[in-house]
Amino acid sequence: MNELYQIIEKSPDVKGRVKLIGIGVGNSRFEVGVFRKNYEIPFPLFADGDFSIHKDIGEARTPYFMGVKIKKDGSHQVFYSKLGGFKKASDFLELILKSAGLK
């Protein structure tokens, strides 16, 4: 995820258009903070100690990736939703950009 973040931030065409967040399912703020420090996570991480976010998105197992497009009117559209990891950060970003209609 850190590699994906770096690719996004170094690409002028993508930076500011694609954002990453992480959700610490079942984790407290303290646990998320320890994780952030240990793995030097540069993007926002949110604690979900009570599983409320997890429940709102369908109680998917992790890792789980969701792409959400925020429209000009403030509404949103889920354009990507998949359980499991990815092999190559650059290929995953290309998939996300195409799925979002940004490429």
pLDDT digits (tens, 9 = 90+) for 68-88: 999 999 999 999 999 999 999
pLDDT tens track for 14-60: 999 999 999 999 999 999 999 999 999 999 999 999 999 999 999 99
Domain boundaries, the chain: 2-96
How far is Cα 42 from Cα 65, in angstroms, rounded to an integer? 18
- The architecture in CATH of the region 2-96 reads 3-Layer(aba) Sandwich (3.40)
pTM, whole model, 2 decimals? Answer: 0.88
| Angle between helices 89-100 and 2-10 in degrees, nearest 10 | 60
Q: Are 29 and 35 in contact (CB under 8 A)?
A: no
Q: Are 91 and 5 in contact, with CB atoms under 8 Å apart?
A: no
Q: What is the pLDDT of residue 103?
A: 85
**18, 6 Cβ separation under 8 angstroms:** no
